[in-house]
Structure 1
């Protein structure tokens, strides 16, 4: 006999600061939805809510439950309940009664993730943001097959300083580009370049390993980093509690402009209050325009001042570049922000991103929605 029981997904009251009337429902929302394999929490919440990141509000989640959410599985039924006057989502879950007091629920199902695992999985363990010198202390490949310069899958290699208490599966990295804050020009960390995977065959001094995967050629002096034991997919989409403002630093996937399902990095991280599951709006900065349509266009009227160069000695090398004078000072009268004849158009929201991996000063996010192409240096902030 099949028996259905209705249980709230969570019991505690919402701890996020927001009024219930801030939650707007989709006009064509269903009364109930059966979760299927391949669903994500973002997609499910989007069927009921105009703003999917407000999902915790209609589940009455507190902060602890956002960090450690109850799981939803394919076959579960999500029900919208408005009987209290405020929208609430509840879970209708199928169980099988074996005997009084004992029920059986399927355990071989995978819980519904927040966003697509296939899209973000490579970025959950790579790339890696590290301090500039931290890779110097990592286990190092010191040699490989005789007469080989580059190593490939199946090659045996030897590793120095490999601890025996951190498992036998490792990622291989090489120092990559320095991540620089586009606003302050301050270095935020080193983005290490992922090269492949290695399996330890024998511990010792040196240890022996075998390369099991190579994304690029691997050389001596490349470094090893421990593989995470478990990838986290079960965070809940939600808005930050603080006012976050940042910029997009990089777009991944070999594209100049980004759209939905593209991974980007931003210049904010754990130290700024960001955590996995935070949703940020993506904005295009407003431009300055003339208050009078008949005036010359602002972008033509307010150009950067031309530099004055020092005189060049004709006897100097021809290829030597002239040096710009440093006496060109900031002129507030030439700043369009101080020109009363100009007005700055509002910043326009063009999309949403969800943070899925955070480091101290850098985070990675997945663009969930994009009404226009997303560019480098577009701003992000708390929605």
Structure 2
């Protein structure tokens, strides 16, 4: 004989719910309802719960009309600590180019005292000594530019190896952009953009067609490298995460864009027994990724830092126990 189930929910002013997000039975095929506050809620028979299996209520809403009673229950799972296996060969995330874009397109390290294939600023057309945006000026020795656009460049700091005293190059920074108005032996240009004043002697180089910005995939170099931090972009003695620094290794050392180096800060202590100073290598304080390589030096981005990076800190290949 088929047994029918009553709906005593009416005495609570509730309506039996016909649709529930997740409905479960106590034993598939034998039960067709869950009793709650005297209300009978129809459920599906599509799971394999055993009699007496504990259930936890995730949501309960009491209301009138079509909303009715809503009940969501799931099987109770017993959680306990366990070992996990982590794949050590997981892929390394790439570095987006917008982090270092100004240095990709606006900065160089030049070996010589002159910037090849460049002209130079003479003076403003009205005799101005310093030039601001939209000021017109005279220039000489301009190389050809298909669009007539030129970067205004200025020499910056010199980079010296602290161990050998070797000259590694000199920074060349873009400070503005100018457009050719008329070309002759003494050309006239207009300064269309600058983030600082342009002066006589600043160099002019043709704007090259944008080839797009590369993505970088950090990796450990295949060659043994030793060097120093020889420059910090902000001009101070310390740098933090995502700051740009100059390192004393370049093409002649075999470095490539994407190479990751660890930064350490050796300290010296006095050995009271041996009566002489001892240098302590110390642990890595940061990691830098090379992104633009020149002959004897390179630009690098600090991609991880436990402590501030200082001028003349050591750089080397990450050790086997490194956590990059």
What band does the TM-score fall into relative to the shorter chain?
A: 0.5 to 0.7
Q: Corresponding residue for 2:248?
A: 267
1:127 aligns with 2:107: yes
Q: Deviations over 1:265-314 (max 9, x none)?
A: 01111111111111111112143453xxxx48x9xx65xxxxxxxxxxxx
Task: Spell out structure 1 runs of 4+ moving beyond 4 A.
Answer: 85-89
User: How far apart in 2 are the matches of 1:151 and 1:368?
Assistant: 37
1:201 Cα deviation (Å)? 3.0
Q: Corresponding residue for 1:188?
A: 168
List runs of 5+ in structure 1 lacking aligned partners. Answer: 1-81, 90-112, 303-335, 338-343
Residues 229-248 of structure 1 mapped to structure 2, 5 A cutoff: 229-248=210-229
Residues 219-368 of structure 1 mapped to structure 2, 5 A cutoff: 219-228=199-208, 229-290=210-271, 295=272, 336=277, 344-368=279-303
Q: Corresponding residue for 1:52?
A: none
Query: 1:262 touches 1:367 (CA, 8 Å); kept in 2?
Result: yes
User: How far apart in 1 are the matches of 2:212 and 2:160?
Assistant: 27
User: How far apart in 1 are the matches of 2:89 and 2:231?
Assistant: 38
Query: 1:246 touches 1:268 (CA, 8 Å); kept in 2?
Result: yes
Larger gyration radius, structure 1 or structure 2: 2
TM-score (norm 1): 0.54
> 1:116 and 1:289, CA in 2 relative to 1: closer, same or farther beyond 3 A?
farther
1:199 aligns with 2:134: no
Determine which structure has the larger strand proportion and give its number. Answer: 2
2:140 is aligned, of 145, 154, 160, to 160
1:213 aligns with 2:190: no
1:227 Cα deviation (Å)? 3.3
1:372 aligns with 2:319: no
TM-score (norm 2): 0.64
Question: Larger RCO: Structure 1 or Structure 2 (Cα < 8 Å, ≥ 6 residues apart)?
Answer: 1
List runs of 5+ in structure 2 lacking aligned partners. Answer: 1-84, 319-324
Query: 1:277 touches 1:354 (CA, 8 Å); kept in 2?
Result: yes
